[in-house]
Amino acid sequence: MFERLAELGIETVTVEHRPLFTVADSADLERELPGAHTKNLFLKDDKGALFLVVAQSTTKVDLKRLSRQLGAGRFSFGKPELLLEVLGVTPGSVTAFAVMNDDALRVRVVIDAALMAHDTINCHPLENTATTSIAREDLLRFMRAGGHQLTIETLSRVEDRPPP
């Protein structure tokens, strides 16, 4: 991943830490590292389509609403075996950077509009034992470099969002 970033001329900063499996595990780190932090959902709809949802860690994602918004079938979380096969990561390490492993372009990437309001975005670098800070536009460029089309969607209603 870091080689691919360097090939694209993208600079990042990476901080190593204990394994973080959930957004709750990441709370302390979020206070220390500036920028938006992500949560990532690997989803499969009942039609067999695959989705990677890259959301701001504080965004409440309503899967029923999102499936209607995207014109998708009913969502469920993708099985760990499918996640490893398609994105090359295990549960707890799902990240926007994992699209680099989806050479077949099987995954539709959906990005939280709230995340795009931040200049710096923090993601796991394919493992949950580190966090990589990257400029918003560089993250988008990295994901597009592999051929993925990105969809930016409002994932939560205003009343769902935490107060500033």
Q: Are 95 and 89 in contact (CB under 8 A)?
A: yes
pLDDT single digits (tens) 112-162: 999 999 999 999 999 888 999 999 999 999 999 999 999 999 997 544 444
Phi, psi of 11 (to 5 degrees): -95, 140
Sign of CA dihedral 99, 67, 137, 94: negative
Pairing of strands 130-135, 120-123: antiparallel
pLDDT single digits (tens) 18-60: 776 666 666 666 657 789 999 999 999 999 999 999 999 999 9
In order of their start, the domains of the chain are: 2-156 (3.90.960.10)
